[in-house]
Amino acid sequence: MPESPDERLGAHVSIRGGVALAPARGVAIGASAIQLFTKNPNQWRDPEIDRATGRAFVEAYNRSGLNGLLAHDSYLINLASPDPALRDRSTTSFVSELERCHQLGIAGVVSHPGNYIDDREAGLERNAEGCTTALERARSDVMVLFEATAGSGTALGRSFEELATLRRLVPQAHRHRIGFCADTCHLYAAGYDLVDDYEGVWQKFDDIIGLEHLHCLHLNDSKTPFASHRDRHELIAEGSLGSGPFRRIMRDPRFVDVVKILETPKGDDEVTLDRRMLARLRSYARTGARRHR
């Protein structure tokens, strides 16, 4: 269970059976925060959240005692695509993502920056343009949290410089709604050595982006080695990062108010492993915690 009323630690949970069931799933694993999809992430269909559904979700969340709530956008969205049709469809879908979050009372949506396919600089500009259009069209004040990626293929977000550029390319009027999500697996796979240069990595993030813009941490170990550029999540302390970086994150005062979300393997029942990983992370926050390696 949560170590303190201020804790913001949890996992991505399912909306199977209806989005209003998600908060209870967070409670079932002992979370103090949750992340969810607002729809099926592998389909283009964008269902609207009616007032009754939105009210049921907000009431369920308020009853749950949870202290953190974020969404993750659809896997199909690619605001950086050079294909005008796909980019337009992605922008329209992203507007719907923002509006569903608003209806559910979700303050921020984590978003992969997309794949540029042809030219990296052009992709950054296309993403910023599509994001700006969505922010202008959506009837909400929901924040967009660009997620650092592992750097595979033509994916954007492989470096702090790229993430900072994305924010800079969004007009000043909307820039306050752009923040970031750092995934430990992605950072390590991209070449940011959280194992042997923990302080250096976060100092670089602060210098280039600013830690005040970090609103979410995805806590995932990695199945692949350092700088592999492959996105393969592993259970905490059972992959190539080991316990060290997670122990330090859980004790780092800079991250106390940052929502921390597990996206590690779920297992068969979607409860047992999340409970175990949350207990492990909480043990790291305590002085003299036993090492898991």
Helix (H, G, I), strand (E, B) or coil at 193: coil
Architecture per CATH, 9-285:
Alpha-Beta Barrel (3.20)
pLDDT tens, N- to C-terminus, the chain (293 residues): 776 778 999 999 999 999 999 999 999 999 999 999 999 999 999 999 999 999 999 999 999 999 999 999 999 999 999 999 999 999 999 999 999 999 999 999 999 999 999 999 999 999 999 999 999 999 889 999 999 999 999 999 999 999 999 999 999 999 999 999 999 999 999 999 999 999 999 999 999 999 999 999 999 999 999 999 999 999 999 999 999 999 999 999 999 999 999 999 999 999 999 999 999 999 999 864 444 44
Cα–Cα distances (Å) from 242 to 190, 194, 265, 274, in that order, read 17, 10, 16, 17
**Strand pairing partners for 214?**
180
The confidence score (pLDDT) of residue 293 equals 41
C-alpha R_g of the chain: 18
How much is the pTM? 0.96
Q: Where are the domains of the chain?
A: 9-285
Cα–Cα distances (Å) from 181 to 145, 229, 252, 275, 282, in that order, read 6, 18, 16, 22, 21
Are the C-beta atoms of residues 27 and 64 closer than 8 Å to each other? yes
Locate all alpha helices (DSSP H) within 138-290, ordered by sequence: 160-169, 172-175, 184-190, 198-208, 244-251, 272-285
